[in-house]
Each structure stands twice: as structure tokens, then as C-alpha cells.
């Protein structure tokens, strides 16, 4: 009881403190955002982008900001870039993951940039853009487990007798089925509507492991470092799945071409890596020091002197 009281008092103090200042992990991010939107014209209409801001560092909310500016992340930077390249005004439409797909299908949104991977089904029902590489967010697909099992399970066979969970309709679901489907002693019938729920199941012991994208895993572990860790296992991923894509309404090839052209430009300029780093700092998955940024959010390059 005493401990509880002292914790509450600490929190009360923290509450007072948090009103004043603190670190601004958004410096690097804001620099890149400014760079992207500089000189943007909006002559060609509005680009409505549907996304589901519950997925750090790709898209998430900055609770200290209001309105559209509160939605941040790698995909947001990308969205701003695409809008500028197309000469359109950007409108962000936040909604649940399923709703995003419905929005593109119904035409309510022009495009959805929400950490999508390529899957056969999506290719059939939508126009899929070229891939973009959000750091190592998607390139590695891993399995997370409880901290006590950190790095203990490096092979598929190690998961004998365990329950593996994943988000429904996701790339991870596909990978889990492919990898573990034949193993009769692995329980892979643990579908969850969102990653958060699957993580809760892991914490409570209902399941033993959760398949996630590496970037996601980073974020989850950063928030529960004493509870969750990487299992050491990495999926063998077909390169085609390695990166993210955007979804566009089937048949809208005009927009598809323009977006692909813009993506090619971003790839050439090497933006993907630094945007991802800035987003990681912003969502506190990694620190500025770790990734080599100074206190003004500028990347420290080796050509110093």
C-alpha cells in the first residue's frame, strides 16, 4: 500500500513536470517534413490517404499535437512526399485497418499507405504500387516471446508444442501457415484482430509466441523491455514480401503510374532510410544518439571537419 502511495505521488510530480518541456524526439522528423513540403503546390486537387495510426513507427499519433499534424510516422512522410510530387493537397483519413481497405475499394480514399505488405489477395483486388523500403520494418519478419525465452528459439523446430499468434489477414498469418502449417505439434490457430490483442495474449500466457514485423517488434519490446523479447527466429521471407506497398483502387492506373514515378524518385534519393530513422526516434523506439543524430535533428555524417 505504501508503495502504491509513493508511486502515485511520483506520478503526480511527473504530471507537473511533464507540463514543462522534456525531450523533443520529433526534431529530425520535423526537419524532413519541412524539407518534403517545401515548395509544394496543390493545383491538382486533393489526395486522400487512408491509414490506421496504431502502428508505430509507420503511422501513429503524437498526443501532444492536434488535428492532422498529430498523425505522424514513416508512412505520413511518404504521403506528404507523394502529395507534393503529384501537386496535390494531402488529406489524411485515419480509420481502422479494415476500414482503410474498404475506403480504397469504395473510392472514399484515393490511396492507402498503412504498412501494407504484398499478398496475393491484395494484388487481386487492388492496384499495388511498387514497393518501398521502410527501414528494416518489413524486411525481417520475426517471432517475439516472453523475456525469459529471449533468443532461445532460433529454428522452426524449436517451436514444437507452442502456441503461435498473429494478426488476422496479415502477412505474418501467411508466413506462419507456410512455415508451421505442416508441424502437427505447433498450434497456429490463434488469430487476433489486432497486434495489441495478440501481445496481451502473449503477456498473459495464453499464447507462447507472436509473429510480427521486425519494426513492430522493436516498438513492442521498447515499451515492455522486461517482459518481451525476440525469440531469435527469423522467417524465410520471399523478397516479394520484404517491403511495403500502397493500395490503390483497382482500375485507377493513372494514379498508379504517377505514384510509382514518385516512389522511384524517393528511392533514388535515399530518403527511405532517413525517414525511417526519424520515425523511430519520434516513437521512442530508438534514440537520436543511437542512430547518429544531433540535438537539432540533423544527421551527423562522416564528412565532418
x-or-dash pattern for another protein, window 4-33, by CB under 8 A? Answer: x--xx-xx--xx--x---------------
Q: Is 61 in the site for another protein (CB under 8 A)?
A: yes
Which one among 5, 41, 106, 302 touches another protein, defined by CB under 8 A? 106
Q: Is 63 in the site for another protein (CB under 8 A)?
A: yes
45: left (phi over 0), alpha (psi -120 to 50) or beta: left
- The two most distant CA atoms of the chain are separated, in Å, by 65
Residue 14 in contact with residue 59, Cβ under 8 Å?
no
Nearest approach in angstroms of CB 62 to another protein is: 8
Q: Is 191 in the site for another protein (CB under 8 A)?
A: no
- Encode 145-177: b = buried (16+ Cβ within 10 Å), e = exposed: bbeebeeebeebebbeebbbbbbebbbbbbbbe
Task: Specify the stretch interacting with another protein by CB under 8 A; choose among 53-61, 170-178, 236-244, 263-271.
Answer: 53-61
Residue 79 and residue 271: Cα distance in Å, rounded? 13
The helix or strand, by DSSP H or E, that contains position 81, with its residue range, turns out to be helix 74-86
Listed residue (172, 173, 213) closest to 58, CA to CA: 213
Q: Which is nearer to another protein, 6 or 154 (CB)?
A: 6
Q: Which is nearer to another protein, 78 or 95 (CB)?
A: 95
The helix or strand, by DSSP H or E, that contains position 5, with its residue range, turns out to be helix 2-19
Q: Which is nearer to another protein, 12 or 269 (CB)?
A: 12
Number of residues near another protein (by CB under 8 A): 38
Which one among 42, 54, 140, 168 touches another protein, defined by CB under 8 A? 54
Q: Give, as ranges, the residues between 245 and 284 that touch another protein (CB under 8 A).
A: 283
Q: Which is nearer to another protein, 63 or 120 (CB)?
A: 63
Tell me the HSE value of 173 on the side-chain side, using a 13 A CA sphere: 17
Task: Specify the stretch interacting with another protein by CB under 8 A; choose among 49-57, 116-124, 148-156, 289-297.
Answer: 49-57
Which one among 24, 37, 93, 260 touches another protein, defined by CB under 8 A? 93
Residue 27 and residue 46: Cα distance in Å, rounded? 27
Residue 141 and residue 241: Cα distance in Å, rounded? 10
- Per DSSP, the three-state class of 4 is helix
Q: Which is nearer to another protein, 181 or 196 (CB)?
A: 196
Beta pairing class for 163-167 and 187-192: parallel
Grid cell at residue 219: 516498438
Q: Is 148 in the site for another protein (CB under 8 A)?
A: no
Q: Is 199 in the site for another protein (CB under 8 A)?
A: yes
Q: Give, as ranges, the residues between 200 and 239 that touch another protein (CB under 8 A).
A: 200, 203, 219-220, 223-224, 226-227
Residue numbers at the binding site for another protein (CB under 8 A): 3-4, 7-8, 10-11, 14-15, 18, 53-56, 60-61, 63, 93-96, 99, 102-103, 106, 108, 195-197, 199-200, 203, 219-220, 223-224, 226-227, 283
Amino acid at each position: 500500500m505504501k508503495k502504491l502511495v509513493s508511486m502515485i505521488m511520483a506520478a503526480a510530480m511527473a504530471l507537473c513536470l511533464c507540463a514543462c518541456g522534456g525531450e523533443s524526439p520529433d526534431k529530425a522528423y520535423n526537419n524532413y517534413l519541412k524539407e518534403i513540403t517545401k515548395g509544394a503546390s496543390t493545383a491538382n486537387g486533393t489526395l486522400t490517404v487512408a491509414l490506421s495510426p496504431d502502428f508505430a513507427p509507420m503511422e501513429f499519433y503524437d498526443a501532444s499535437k492536434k488535428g492532422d499534424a498529430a498523425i505522424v510516422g514513416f508512412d505520413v512522410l511518404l504521403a506528404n512526399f507523394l502529395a507534393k510530387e503529384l501537386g496535390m493537397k494531402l488529406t489524411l483519413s485515419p480509420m481502422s485497418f479494415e476500414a482503410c481497405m474498404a475506403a480504397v475499394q469504395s473510392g472514399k480514399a484515393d490511396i492507402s499507405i498503412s504498412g501494407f505488405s504484398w499478398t496475393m489477395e491484395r494484388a487481386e483486388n487492388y492496384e499495388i504500387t511498387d514497393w518501398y523500403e521502410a527501414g528494416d520494418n518489413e524486411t525481417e519478419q520475426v517471432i517475439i516471446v516472453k523475456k525469459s525465452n529471449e533468443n532461445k528459439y532460433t529454428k522452426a523446430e524449436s517451436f514444437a508444442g507452442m502456441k503461435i499468434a498473429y494478426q488476422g489477414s496479415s502477412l505474418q498469418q501467411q508466413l506462419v501457415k507456410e512455415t508451421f502449417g505442416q508441424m502437427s505439434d505447433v498450434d497456429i490457430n490463434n488469430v487476433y484482430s489486432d497486434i495489441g490483442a495478440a501481445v496481451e495474449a502473449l503477456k498473459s500466457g495464453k499464447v507462447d509466441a507472436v509473429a510480427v514485423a521486425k519494426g513492430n517488434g522493436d516498438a513492442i519490446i521498447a515499451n515492455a523491455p522486461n517482459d518481451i523479447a525476440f525469440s531469435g527466429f527469423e522467417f524465410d521471407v520471399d523478397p516479394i514480401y520484404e517491403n511495403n506497398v500502397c493500395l490503390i483502387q483497382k482500375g485507377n492506373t493513372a494514379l498508379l503510374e504517377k505514384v510509382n514515378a514518385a516512389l522511384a524518385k524517393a528511392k533514388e534519393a535515399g530518403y527511405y532510410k532517413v525517414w525511417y530513422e526519424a520515425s523511430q526516434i519520434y516513437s521512442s523506439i530508438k534514440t537520436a544518439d543511437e542512430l547518429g543524430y544531433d540535438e537539432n535533428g540533423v544527421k551527423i555524417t562522416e564528412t565532418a571537419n
